[in-house]
Amino acid sequence: MTGCERVNRMFARQDQDRVPRHDAYWPETIARWQREGLQWDQADALRLLGADFQTLCWSWPSAFPGQRVVLSQDAETETVRDAWGGVARFWKGRSGTPEHISFGCDSREAWEKTYRPAMLAAANEINPQLAALRYHEGRACGKWNHLAGVEGFEALRRLIGDEACLIAMIEDPEWVRDIVRVHTDIVLRSFEGVLAEGVAPDGLWIYGDMAYNHATMCSPAMYRELVWPAHKRMADWAHAHGMKVIYHTDGRVSGVLDLYIAAGFECLQPIEAKAGMDIRDFAPTHGDRLAMFGNIDVMKMATNDLGLIEEEIRVKFAAGMATRGYAYHSDHSVPPQVSWKTYQAIIGFVERYGTY
């Protein structure tokens, strides 16, 4: 069974030989593993895992594609004006969330006069020919080929900042709708360019963190009113082109699972255990309509306690596989506390407990 067949059968809740697999790693994790025996890079770790997914392209439209002006720096960090016109401080040579210092798009006026026209006029950052090349590579090795792109809420936060975004959701909802709508227009337009190359992706993987460890950032009603229509639009577009839809969000989203299903999302990833998400809770209630991709607790991985990790994989796999709609992924990104020896054992557990 190829990866593509396996993932498609997962979506159809049909028998598979084993659960589909994919994972994500912090760059520091790969650096550690290279010191401990990993021969090459992240792709090598995914190959050893037996990953089934192939990303063709990544769409996150910005106002000023390619802009990265270093405004200042010290030994550890550099402060940069980025492609969205904002100023943020990043670590040098280290992963992690940047500190957002200011946002160029700081008012509706700035959006309408500068950022909206700039985004609409900006060049497509996706190279359709490269995406097509990856598509044919993916087909040749049996991978599940997918487009990947950021959705409107994540784009909104990146453009105007968390605080302004969340306040605008109350005080200026039409502005929020407009940003989300324009962003979605551009993302779908860029994907159309890929399809024009004659490729037929298997799926669309939508990225947008809309929750944290307590709940969704906004209420389900506000999500339904302001962001959900764009989610549905992306899913409808994907379905019209024969694709399945995976939605990525961190955080506790148990209060909006029904809205995800209504939008047309068919799979949720990575299902963050440390935010209180547990597939054992919702596999019985939602597993027939929403495939589950992930939920293996990285905090347990980080202990390097193989007994604890094996039990985590055993019980979560049992719950997920009972629905035939489950794929392996860590519940976020594998952190550098996890040794290469431990991750090799994890691959073994995934093999042992993930075989149907």
From start to end of 130-243, where are the E strands?
A: 144-150, 203-207
Is residue 258 close enough to count as binding another protein by CB under 8 A? Answer: no
State the amino acid at position 59 in one-letter form. Answer: S
**Residue 306: count of CB within 10 angstroms of its CB:** 14
Q: Does 31 bind another protein (CB under 8 A)?
A: no
One of 5, 28, 78, 351 touching another protein (CB under 8 A) = 28
In the region spanning residues 270 to 309, those forming contacts with another protein, defined by CB under 8 A, are 274-275, 298-299, 302
Query: Within 222-251, which residues bind another protein (CB under 8 A)?
Result: 222, 250
Distance from chain centroid for Cα 129: 23
Please give the structure tokens belonging to residue 188.
């779908």
Beta strands (DSSP E) in the chain are 53-59, 69-73, 77-81, 87-91, 99-102, 144-150, 203-207, 244-249, 267-270, 291-293, 326-327
How near is the Cβ of 251 to another protein at its closest, in Å?
8
Pairwise CA distance, residues 302 & 26, whole Å: 13
Q: What residues are paired with 77 via a beta bridge? A: 91
The answer to the question of residue 256 lying near another protein (CB under 8 A) is no
Q: Segment 120-159, which members bind another protein (CB under 8 A)?
A: none
| H helical segments located in 41-86 | 42-49
Point out which span in 63-71, 131-139, 162-170, 228-236 binds another protein (CB under 8 A): 162-170
Size of the site for another protein (CB under 8 A): 39
**What's the N-to-C CA distance of the chain in angstroms?**
13
Q: In angstroms, give the least distance from the CB of 228 to another protein.
A: 15
Binders of another protein among residues 177 to 206 (CB under 8 A) are: none
Q: Which is nearer to another protein, 37 or 96 (CB)?
A: 96
Of 14 and 95, CB closest to another protein? 95
| DSSP symbols for 216-270 | BSS-HHHHHHHTHHHHHHHHHHHHHTT-EEEEEE-S--GGGHHHHHHHT--EEEE
- The 86-125 contact track toward another protein, x by CB under 8 A, reads ---xxx---xxxxxx-------------------------
Contacts with another protein, residue ranges (CB under 8 A): 26, 28, 76-77, 89-91, 95-100, 162-163, 166-167, 169-171, 212-219, 222, 250, 255, 274-275, 298-299, 302, 335-337
